[in-house]
Amino acid sequence: MITKSQLQKLAKVHGTPLFIIDHDELRSNYRQFRKYLPRVQIYYAVKANSDPAIVKTLYKEGSSFDVASMPEFDIVHENIKHLSAKKRQEWIWDKIIYANPTKPTDTLEVLNKYKPLVTFDNSEEIKKIKKHAPNAGLALRLKVPNTGAMVELSSKFGASPGEAVDLILEADKAGLTVEGISFHVGSQTTNFENYVQSLSLTASVFKEAIDRGYTKMNLIDIGGGFPAPYDSSVKPFKELAKVINTEIDRLFPKDIQILAEPGRYMVASAGYCVSSVIGKAVRDNKMCYYINDGVYHTYSGVIFDHCKYPVKAFKKGPTQMSSVFGPTCDALDVVSMAENLPSLERGDFVYSEKIGAYSHASATYFNGFPPAKVVHVNQ
């Protein structure tokens, strides 16, 4: 954890807007996940924050990786380029999943030589994989309940349980190997029942596949969704892990391989940002602060991730309800309409914590303002 005075010092040294990643926290999150879900192989979902230094730290911890584009694949590949071709091939085969159910054909062609594990959820994708990446292993992405998740994914991805085995058999008939089932319960899922129901659906698809003669499946990918501790309403990870462990042990044989693709859980609490007040105004009797970071930049998760990040001041003093706006000319660039802040002046720093996931990753150059400078600590 980085202290307030460390954040201020870093902002003085590097300037603002500043995005800070604490690698001790990354390692601690990784180790917690391993500790509480010991049967699960961790594939860090690179999309949550693809900074190469983050990938490197998790690589050193022994992580596997979920990539969803060739640039993400290349970031991971940087860490293994020193290995012999054979070792590299084995590493990719064992430790990368290309978990984007819809893949461009040129991507499939590049991936094919690595015999990658890829996800799919429809017939069209089977045809594409057969033609452009026949060496790939497949995991069927199942549509599962995303009830109460902060970010819902089931309307865009996943075969319905009713068509799942038909698709598995279709892939088999095409000469491909379906190695298992994957699902995603929706990002920042605080409703643990989603995992319970998804594991139960997965078990019934496994059973139906066996009943219909398909016996080659040996893995389950339980996806992401593991909630970051944004506030005290989020139950401890250990409680969720207990539920998942119980269901896995109850429903599946011991030799089934279990994968997970945590993104947010690994990086959210490792990220901080510090920005400066660049202007202020009173609008409708409310104090409004303009800062040099906003929703087109580090606070992009406010829009894309439906996430809220409390904006805090280092300064002490009586507070009043204030709005915080980003620096661009767009009225959408609103970081928050309700923050209790003391009276701030131009140049004062403000900061947010637990902003490591889906934040800098989706920052843009909109309006000519570049993304915040990134600083790594405890690397």
Ligand X SMILES: Cc1ncc(COP(=O)(O)O)c(C=O)c1O
Q: Which residues are known catalytic residues?
A: 329
Tokens of 356: 């490591």
Which of 225, 326, 356, 371 touches ligand X (CB under 6 A)?
225
User: Per CB under 6 A, which region of 217-225, 229-237, 317-325, 330-338 contacts ligand X?
Assistant: 217-225
* Interacting residues of 204 by C-beta distance below 8 A, sequence separation 6+: 161
What one-character-per-residue DSSP string does 175-221 give? T-EEEEEEE---BS---THHHHHHHHHHHHHHHHHHHTT-----EEE
Which of 223, 271, 327, 356 touches ligand X (CB under 6 A)?
223
Site residues for ligand X, 309-338, by CB under 6 A, read none
From the CB of 187, what's the least distance to ligand X, in Å? 3
Cis amide bond preceding 17, omega within 30? yes
Please state, in angstroms and rounded to a whole number, the distance separating the CA atoms of residues 55 and 78: 10
Q: Is 360 in the site for ligand X (CB under 6 A)?
A: no
Residue 149, Ramachandran bin (φ over 0: left; ψ between -120 and 50: alpha; else beta): beta
Please state, in angstroms and rounded to a whole number, the distance separating the CA atoms of residues 168 and 205: 10
Q: Is 25 in the site for ligand X (CB under 6 A)?
A: no
Q: Is 158 in the site for ligand X (CB under 6 A)?
A: no
* Interacting residues of 6 by C-beta distance below 8 A, sequence separation 6+: 377
Q: Is 224 in the site for ligand X (CB under 6 A)?
A: yes
In DSSP terms, 324 is beta-bridged to 289, 336
DSSP at 314: S
Q: Is 51 in the site for ligand X (CB under 6 A)?
A: no
From the CB of 48, what's the least distance to ligand X, in Å? 5
Q: Is 187 in the site for ligand X (CB under 6 A)?
A: yes
Q: Kindly tell me which of 265 and 351 has the beta carbon lying closer to ligand X.
A: 265
Torsion of CA 356, 359, 363, 367, to 10 degrees: -120
Which of 25, 72, 261, 333 touches ligand X (CB under 6 A)?
261
User: Per CB under 6 A, which region of 28-36, 69-77, 220-228, 287-295 contacts ligand X?
Assistant: 220-228
* Interacting residues of 231 by C-beta distance below 8 A, sequence separation 6+: none
Q: Say which residue the tokens 């991730």 belong to.
A: 305
From the CB of 228, what's the least distance to ligand X, in Å? 8
From the CB of 302, what's the least distance to ligand X, in Å? 16
From the CB of 365, what's the least distance to ligand X, in Å? 23
Site residues for ligand X, 31-50, by CB under 6 A, read 45, 48
Which of 103, 184, 354, 360 touches ligand X (CB under 6 A)?
184
Tokens of 197: 């129901």
Q: Is 307 in the site for ligand X (CB under 6 A)?
A: no
Q: Kindly tell me which of 261 and 339 has the beta carbon lying closer to ligand X.
A: 261
The residues that touch ligand X, with contacts defined as CB under 6 A, are 45, 48, 66, 99, 153, 184, 187, 223-226, 261-265
